[in-house]
């Protein structure tokens, strides 16, 4: 294996991409100081993983990136690649060529690659381990490192020798093993702490578990007793109900007989009432006939009176019409007179209109003549004004030409003066140029100060960037904590969703049945049945109370109808899934109680459980069946107070979960959080979602802040780049000022030539001034003539404008008179029209009045005819009046007879009613007795229902299920005493944790699991200790063997290089792997001494002897040496060079040197130069 080539791009002074190819043998890299030779060694160290920037001769990692020059911008990335020939497969990869690459960016990112595949630094280090390559190896000896091997820290010297001894691989594995051992020991301590905690809890939990088992056993026995007591009570109440029903039947039979008698009397009463009703109807008809005749009699009298009045009114109308006809005739005569007057006025208006027309025609002719004169004069004025504009234009042109000539003369004078001044100033210009030179030097000093200021700003910005990066690190810690909290929330959400998905907390049977439904194992039932607990929504503060109130009913399954429930029960039986309760919506009846108003206002009362939750209306009956008889209050004290008021008839639950059962039993104690979170689960998921949202907001905020800080870093970095650019600009300006000083000499030579040219220019200007003055006089004379013509034209314009003002005034007066006559003409015309309309109106009125007189005469004739017909009607009504009076007397006699028969019937009806009253009194007494027995029966039925409810709610079974537990009870009192004994036994147990049984089992399982984990860790610890011990032994053996070899080889090489003498490596301590290694040397003719006491040249040669000894013992694929022979004299350089030549057959050497002797033994030479300032270039020479 050997180094084939190195590729550099943007690394330190290598701005452009450069590839250095190497063959076997010795390759020398030469060049002047500062040309960038050592940067090649730095590049190899860097690509092999060097992390110390000091070893790379920099301050920070970005210093390895090309920083730019005066004429080149800086780069954003540095990249170095090593290509190794792996034909001998010395490295454990299936490639003949291996390319190791490292890239770094100004942002701080750094990447490693093996054959263009991204990898970690650790993978590169493991690949090159025990090959002598790597940052801690001996294959790369940089400037000063050769002395550090001898006089540096013992640990640095030891690392080189360990690499040579081949124990680095084992040392790293041992360190990893020790880290694992330390982690294992820490895990053992943690597990032991957990086990101790479990052991502390196991014994108390065991006692609680046994206590809980006893409690469950006694509770089951007590339940059986309670069920039998309830069944016994139900049987007794059923017997009382039967007795009550037989008594009610007897009373109802007696009631039926009395009702039969009552019906007979009622029938008779109805018959007599019918007769009385008919008689009354007959009397009523007769009376009506009487009243009708009497009304007709009175009507006839009033009609006679009305007809007489009508005759009187007709006579009055006749008189009125005669008077009206006379008035109409008088009015017609008056209107005819008015009409004649209006016609005379119309004739006068026509005459006036003719005179007005004549005036209008006269003034219109006069107006047109004046207007025509004005138009002619305005046209003359227009032409004169146009001439005036032309005069003005001519004046302006001449003035402009005069101004141009004057300006030209002035310009020539100025130019003459300037040229004269220029000639005078030229002699002093040399002094000014010298002053400029001094100014240029001052500017250079100023620019240097600016550059220093930019450097200060750059340093300040770099400090700011460091502070911002610290803030970013703090934010990263916060971000990590927020992400941890977010993961925790999402985990909790996942757990809750999993519990929700698998219906944890519901009864085993209900849970399995719902899972089967969801998995479509029971087809055609999806959406037709659902858990009660999944169908309600509850406020957070009511969750415990509602869940306690529901109890086992939370697992009840609501179905659309009883057929579905029946089929699901059959499915449970068939698959042996257990038992559960179904609530068919088509037959379930709600048992909601009515809360009295006084109870709602009682302190602590919250409401009825079924009214405090949210649910769909279609399941209302099911909810009221389960929760309709449960009251929710705030605490146990108020619960007991309310229970007393309702006589312990209903179940009451507090917000903290205590129960006052119907009948007075109390249930309470501590609640296990695990058992009471079914209803609140959805809310908790929602709360967690809100927390997740807030946490994500916080994460986004921190990330945004980090982005903001990173942007600030970018801004500061850009500012630094700008400042660096400004520094470059200032440097360029300095160069310009230096060039300016050189140019001043050339300008002085040009001054004499310039003075000669200026004198010739002055003569030419004098000639031009003479011509311009002559032309100016001509133009001034022309301007005077144009002004005279202009003033004459202005006089004509003023005369015409005065005439126009007078004529326009006359024209305005005529226009006003003309307008007045036209208005008068319009008024005459309007008056004429009005008069004609008035005459037409008068004609219409006369015609209308004539027609009215005709109509009035016709109406008058009709009145005379009407008067005669009314007289005839009066005579006829007098005859009818006599006949009606006779019929009224006959009706009065018949009505009197009917009233006598009515009195007789009323007497009979009264007797029958008194008998019916007696029967009704007896019936009322019977009804009271029946009502009394009904109340007793209702009470018994209520007690039976209460007992059924007690079975359902308190014990959790229905009546049919309870019959399985039924026993024959001979003495109920004795049986109750047994039940009380069981209650006392349960009470004596005190507070019982029912969950302790399951908790004990889970804790025991955890204890056993953790104990097994502990045993595994103990075994792992023992195995690790054994492996570390074996590794240590192996390392000691390898180190001792190789160290002894190295001692001999070092002594041998030392003698060859020094031509005699001796050298030795000494371990100072018993532990071969930790003790210091000292180097003793004895050059020829000197005493044995510590190497630190030798001269610089001797030290250098001794270090080279140790390096070659290491290479003899364990050759590396290639070795890079950076001026290690710098301190040697020519003779020792020759010895060093001969050794280099000798070893080059086995090892590839790349040496950086200034020494001729080293160059002579090289096969190839690379020359490094800086053609462009700050940019390294490479030239290769093949000497073979």
Cα 288 from Cα 294, distance rounded (Å)? 10
Q: Which two tokens stand for residue 104?
A: 């770094």
Contacts of 841-848 with CB under 8 Å at 24 or more apart are: 842/335, 842/338, 842/339, 842/342, 843/339, 845/335, 846/332, 846/335, 846/336, 846/339
Dist CA 419 CA 412 (whole Å):
10
Q: How many CA atoms does the CB half-sphere of 109 hold within 13 Å?
A: 5
DSSP 632: E
CA angle 325, 330, 333 (to 5 degrees): 130
Which class for 516: exposed (0-12), middle (13-18), buried (19 or more C-beta within 10 A)?
Answer: middle
Q: Which of 578, 582, 545, 536 is nearest to 560 (CA)?
A: 582
What gap in Å lies between CA 772 and CA 1115, rounded to an integer?
102
Q: What tokens appear for 625 in the block? A: 């069946």
Burial of 117 (0-12, 13-18, 19+ CB in 10 A): exposed
Q: Quickly list DSSP for 69-131.
A: -SSSPPPSEEEEEEEEE-TT--SSSS-SEEEEEEEEETTS-EEEEETTEEE-HHHHHHHHTTT
Q: Which residues are annotated as a binding site for ATP?
A: 32-39
Q: How far is the C-alpha of 90 from the C-alpha of 1117, rounded, in Å?
A: 9
Using CA atoms, how far apart are residues 518 and 525, in angstroms rounded to an integer?
Answer: 9
d(CA 742, CA 589): 116
Which residue do the tokens 């607990």 mark? 533
Distances (CA, A) of 944 to 235, 247, 263, 957: 9, 20, 40, 15
Q: At 683, list the tokens.
A: 């809310």
- The position carrying tokens 């590169």 is 124
Could you tell me whether strands 1164-1172 and 26-30 are parallel, antiparallel, or unpaired per DSSP bridges?
A: parallel
Q: Token pair of 158, please?
A: 């030891």
Token pair recorded at residue 879:
């005859």
The dihedral built from the CA positions of residue 440, 441, 447 and 451, taken in this order, carries a sign that is positive
The CA-CA-CA angle for residues 246, 251, 255, to 5°, reads 145
Residue 966 gets the label, from left (phi > 0), alpha (psi -120 to 50) or beta, of beta
Pairing of strands 557-559, 582-584: parallel
Q: Is residue 1081 a contact partner of residue 1089, using CB atoms and an 8 Å limit?
A: yes
Order the strands of the 605-608 sheet from edge to edge: 605-608, 630-633, 651-654, 659-660, 666-667
Asked if residue 1127 lies in contact with residue 1096, where contact means CB atoms within 8 angstroms, the answer is yes
The H or E element spanning position 1172 is strand 1164-1172
What stretch of H or E contains 1105? helix 1096-1113
Nearest CA to 47 out of 83, 20, 16, 15 is that of 83
Known binding residues: 32-39
Contact at 8 Å (CB) between 112 and 81? no
């Amino acid at each position: 294996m050997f180094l084939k080539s190195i590729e550099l791009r943007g690394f330190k002074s290598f701005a452009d991409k450069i590839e250095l190819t190497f063959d076997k043998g010795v390759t020398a890299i030469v060049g002047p100081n500062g040309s960038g030779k050592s940067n090649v060694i730095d590049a190899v160290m860097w690509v092999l993983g060097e992390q110390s920037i000091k070893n790379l001769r920099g301050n920070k990692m970005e210093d390895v990136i090309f920083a730019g020059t005066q004429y080149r911008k800086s780069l954003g990335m540095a990249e170095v690649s090593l290509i190794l020939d792996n034909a001998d497969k010395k490295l454990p990869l299936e490639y003949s060529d291996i390319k190791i690459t490292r890239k770094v960016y100004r942002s701080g990112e750094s990447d490693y690659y093996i054959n263009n595949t991204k990898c970690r630094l650790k993978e590169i280090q493991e690949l090159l381990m025990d090959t002598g390559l790597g940052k801690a190896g001996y294959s790369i000896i940089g400037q000063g490192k050769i002395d550090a091997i001898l006089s540096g820290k013992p640990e640095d010297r030891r690392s080189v020798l360990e690499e040579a001894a081949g124990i680095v691989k084992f040392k790293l594995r041992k360190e990893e093993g020790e880290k694992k051992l330390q982690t294992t020991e820490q895990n053992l301590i943690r597990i032991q702490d957990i086990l101790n905690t479990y052991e502390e809890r196991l014994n108390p939990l065991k006692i609680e578990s046994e206590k809980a088992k006893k409690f469950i056993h006694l509770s089951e026995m007590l339940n059986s007793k309670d069920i039998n007591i309830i069944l016994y009570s139900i049987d007794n109440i059923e017997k009382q109900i039967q007795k009550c029903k037989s008594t009610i039947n007897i009373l109802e039979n007696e009631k039926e007989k009395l009702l039969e008698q009552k019906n007979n009397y009622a029938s008779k009463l109805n018959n007599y009432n019918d007769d009385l009703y008919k008689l009354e109807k007959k009397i009523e008809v007769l009376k009506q006939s009487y009243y009708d005749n009497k009304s007709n009699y009175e009507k006839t009298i009033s009609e006679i009176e009305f007809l007489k009045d009508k005759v009187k009114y007709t006579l009055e109308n006749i008189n009125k019409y005669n008077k009206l006809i006379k008035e109409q005739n008088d009015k017609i005569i008056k209107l005819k007179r008015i009409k004649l007057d209006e016609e005379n006025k119309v004739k006068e208006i026509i005459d006036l209109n003719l005179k007005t027309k004549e005036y209008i025609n006269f003034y219109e002719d006069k107006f047109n003549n004046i207007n025509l004169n004005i138009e002619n004069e305005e046209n003359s004025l227009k032409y004169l004004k146009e001439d005036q504009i032309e005069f003005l234009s001519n004046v302006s042109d001449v003035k402009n030409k005069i101004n141009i000539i004057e300006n030209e003369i002035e310009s020539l004078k100025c130019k003459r003066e300037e040229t004269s001044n220029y000639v005078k100033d030229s002699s002093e210009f040399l002094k000014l140029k010298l002053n400029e030179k001094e100014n240029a030097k001052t500017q250079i000093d100023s620019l240097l100060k600016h550059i220093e200021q930019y450097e200060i700003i750059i340093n300040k910005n770099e400090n700011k960037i460091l502070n911002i990066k610290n803030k970013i690190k703090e934010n990263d810690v916060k971000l990590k904590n927020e992400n941890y909290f977010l993961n925790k929330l999402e985990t909790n959400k996942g757990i809750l969703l999993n519990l929700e998905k698998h219906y944890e907390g519901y009864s085993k049977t209900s849970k399995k049945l719902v899972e089967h439904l969801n998995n479509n194992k029971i087809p055609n039932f999806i959406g037709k049945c659902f858990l009660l607990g999944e169908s309600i929504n509850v406020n957070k503060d009511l969750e415990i109370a509602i869940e306690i109130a529901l109890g086992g009913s939370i697992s009840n399954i609501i179905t659309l109808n009883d057929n579905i429930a029946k089929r699901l029960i059959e499915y449970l039986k068939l698959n042996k899934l257990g038992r559960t309760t179904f609530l068919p919506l088509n037959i379930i009846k709600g048992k909601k109680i009515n809360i009295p108003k006084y109870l709602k206002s009682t302190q602590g009362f919250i409401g009825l459980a079924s009214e405090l939750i949210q649910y769909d209306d279609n399941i209302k009956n099911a909810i009221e069946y389960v929760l309709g008889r449960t009251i929710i209050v705030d605490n146990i004290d108020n619960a007991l107070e309310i229970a007393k008021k309702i006589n312990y008839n209903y179940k009451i639950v507090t917000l903290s979960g205590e129960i006052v059962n119907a009948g007075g039993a109390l249930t309470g104690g501590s609640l296990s959080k695990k058992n009471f979170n079914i209803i609140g689960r959805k809310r908790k998921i929602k709360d967690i979602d809100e927390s997740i949202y807030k946490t994500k907001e916080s994460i986004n905020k921190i990330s945004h802040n980090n982005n903001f800080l990173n942007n600030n870093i970018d801004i500061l970095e850009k500012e630094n780049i700008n400042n660096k650019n400004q520094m470059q600009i200032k440097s360029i300006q300095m160069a310009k000022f230096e060039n300016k000083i050189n140019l001043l000499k050339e300008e002085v030579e040009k001054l004499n030539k310039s003075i000669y040219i200026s004198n010739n220019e002055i003569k030419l200007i004098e000639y031009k001034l003479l011509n311009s003055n002559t032309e100016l006089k001509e133009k001034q004379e022309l301007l005077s003539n144009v002004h005279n013509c202009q003033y004459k034209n202005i006089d004509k314009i003023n005369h015409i404008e005065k005439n126009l003002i007078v004529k326009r005034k006359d024209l305005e007066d005529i226009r006003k008179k003309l307008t007045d006559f036209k208005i008068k003409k319009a008024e005459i015309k309007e008056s004429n029209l009005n008069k004609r309309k008035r005459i037409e109106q008068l004609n219409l009125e006369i015609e209308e009045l004539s027609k009215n007189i005709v109509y009035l005469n016709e109406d008058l004739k009709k009145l005379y005819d009407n008067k005669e017909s009314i007289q005839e009607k009066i005579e006829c009504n007098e005859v009818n009046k006599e006949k009606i009076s006779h019929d009224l007397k006959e009706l009065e006699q018949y009505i009197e007879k009917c009233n006598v028969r009515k009195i007789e019937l009323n007497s009979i009806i009264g007797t029958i009613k008194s008998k019916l009253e007696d029967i009704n009194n007896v019936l009322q007494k019977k009804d009271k007795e029946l009502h009394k027995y009904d109340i007793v029966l209702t009470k018994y039925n209520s007690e039976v229902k209460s007992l059924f409810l007690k079975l359902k709610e308190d014990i959790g079974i229905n009546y049919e299920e309870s019959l399985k537990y039924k026993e024959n009870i001979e003495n109920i009192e004795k049986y109750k005493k047994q039940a009380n004994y069981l209650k006392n036994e349960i009470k004596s147990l005190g507070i019982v944790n029912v969950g302790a049984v399951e908790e004990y089992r889970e804790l025991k399982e955890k204890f056993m699991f953790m104990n097994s984990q502990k045993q595994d860790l103990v075994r792992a610890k023992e195995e690790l200790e054994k492996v570390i011990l074996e590794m240590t032994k192996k390392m000691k053996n390898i180190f001792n063997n190789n160290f002894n070899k190295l001692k001999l080889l070092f002594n041998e090489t030392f003698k060859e290089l020094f031509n005699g003498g001796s050298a030795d490596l000494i371990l100072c301590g018993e532990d071969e792997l930790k003790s210091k290694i000292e180097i003793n040397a004895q050059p020829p003719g000197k005493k044995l001494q510590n190497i630190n006491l030798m001269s610089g040249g001797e030290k250098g040669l001794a270090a080279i002897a140790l390096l070659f000894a290491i290479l003899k013992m364990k050759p590396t694929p290639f070795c890079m040496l950076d001026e290690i022979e710098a301190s040697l004299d020519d003779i020792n350089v020759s010895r060093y060079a001969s050794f280099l030549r000798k070893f080059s057959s086995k090892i590839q050497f790349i040496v950086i040197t200034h020494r001729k002797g080293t160059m002579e033994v090289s096969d190839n030479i690379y020359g490094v130069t800086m053609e462009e300032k700050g940019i390294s270039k490479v030239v290769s020479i093949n000497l073979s």
